[in-house]
Amino acid sequence: MIIEFTLHQLLPNVFADTGIEKGSSDVWQVDLTFQRGQSYLVEASSGRGKTSLCMFLYGLRTDYSGEIAVTTTEGATCRLLDMNLDELRQRSLAMMFQDNRLFPELTAVENCLLKNRLTNHLSEQEIRSKLMQLGLEAKLDVPCGLLSLGQQQRVAFVRMLCQPADFYLLDEPVSHLDDENIRLMSDMLQQAQSATGAGVILTSIGRELPYHYDHVLKL
């Protein structure tokens, strides 16, 4: 189980030439720790590297300087990239991608089941129920390619919940949602965090999920 992420002087390669003005970011080129059980809102305008940060923490991208270390419950600290990332993505790190990354030919339920097959975290009934809670009862068995962006965002959110997690990483999760759905999503995330004691790291470009944030970081 991951209990914290520690970022040491992390900087995306894309900023290597221009650099980051000292003190202008709470995340880049500083030493920072994300702790399990805490909620973090990472705010930034476009192009500051919100998605990059999520991808770095999720281990999908490595185009950065500095280091990301992970501390586990056993007390061991090691580089994130030295860990079994596939296993982390099934047991520790749940991610909601900015572009949702759904399979357009699969239905809402099938997309969630595809993830759940790896983890066996929820039953199909629970998945259907969560999708319905987010107002998708009429869209459960519709291919995701036919859903609106907002509906797809809700499906991607439920898929993220289809696994046990130490950290939920949400990359601009509410950019296409109305207030009512944002509130519903916020409640469900709160529920999941309370149940698992996970940490939440959420990026936002302005429209943010109303939530109890322990830390608000400027990127």
Partner 1 sequence: MNLWQMLGFALANLLGAVIVLFGIQAYRDLDTVFDAEDSFISSNYLVLSKPVSVLSTVTSALGAHSGFSEEEIHELEQQPGVTRVGRFQAAQFNVYGSVDIGGTQMTSAMFLESVPDEFLDFQGDMDRTWKATLEGEFIPMVIPQSYLNLYNYGFATSRGMPQMGENLLSRFTLVLTLYGQGEVHHYRARVVALSNRLNTILVPEGFLTEANERMGRKDKSSLPSRLIVATQTSDASSELLNYIEENDYAIEDNADEKLRMQTFVHGILWAVVALGLVVSVLAFFLLLISILLLIEKNREKLSTLHAIGYELSRIAKPYQLMAVALDVFVWFFAALVVMAVYPLFSRFLSGVIPGFEPNSIALIWIVAFLFTLIFSLLHLVVIYRNVWKIRSANAK
Contact footprint for partner 1 (CB under 8 A): 60-63, 86, 89-90, 95, 97, 101-103, 114-115, 118-119, 159, 163
User: Quick one: 41 or 95, whose CB is closer to partner 1?
Assistant: 95
Sort residue 164 into left (φ over 0), alpha (ψ -120 to 50) or beta.
beta
Q: Output the smallest distance, CB 216 to partner 1, in A.
A: 27
Give me the DSSP letters along 4-53.
EEEEEEEEEGGGTTT---TTS-SSTTSEEEEETT-EEEEE--TTSSHHHH
* Of residues 135 and 164, the one with the C-beta less far from partner 1: 164
- The residue among 61 and 215 lying less far from partner 1, judged by its C-beta, is 61
CB-based contact 72:145 (threshold 8 Å): no
To partner 1, the closest distance from the beta carbon of 87 in angstroms equals 9
Q: How far is the CB of 101 from partner 1 (least distance, A)?
A: 5
Q: How far is the CB of 218 from partner 1 (least distance, A)?
A: 26
Give the SS3 label for residue 195. Answer: helix
d(CA 151, CA 77): 39
CB of 155 to partner 1, least distance (A): 12
Name the residue among 63, 65, 74, 118 with its Cα closest to residue 93.
Answer: 118
User: Which residues face 107 on adjacent strands?
Assistant: 143
Instruction: Decide: residue 165, CB within 10 A, 0-12 exposed, 13-18 middle, 19+ buried.
Output: buried
Residue 2 or 41: the one with the smaller Cβ distance to partner 1 is 2
Q: Which is nearer to partner 1, 97 or 211 (CB)?
A: 97
If we measure between CA atoms, which residue out of 175, 173, 169 comes closest to residue 53? 169
Minimum CB distance to partner 1, residue 83 (Å)? 14
Would you say 69 or 114 has its CB closer to partner 1? 114
Q: Which residue's structure tokens are 């999720």?
A: 58
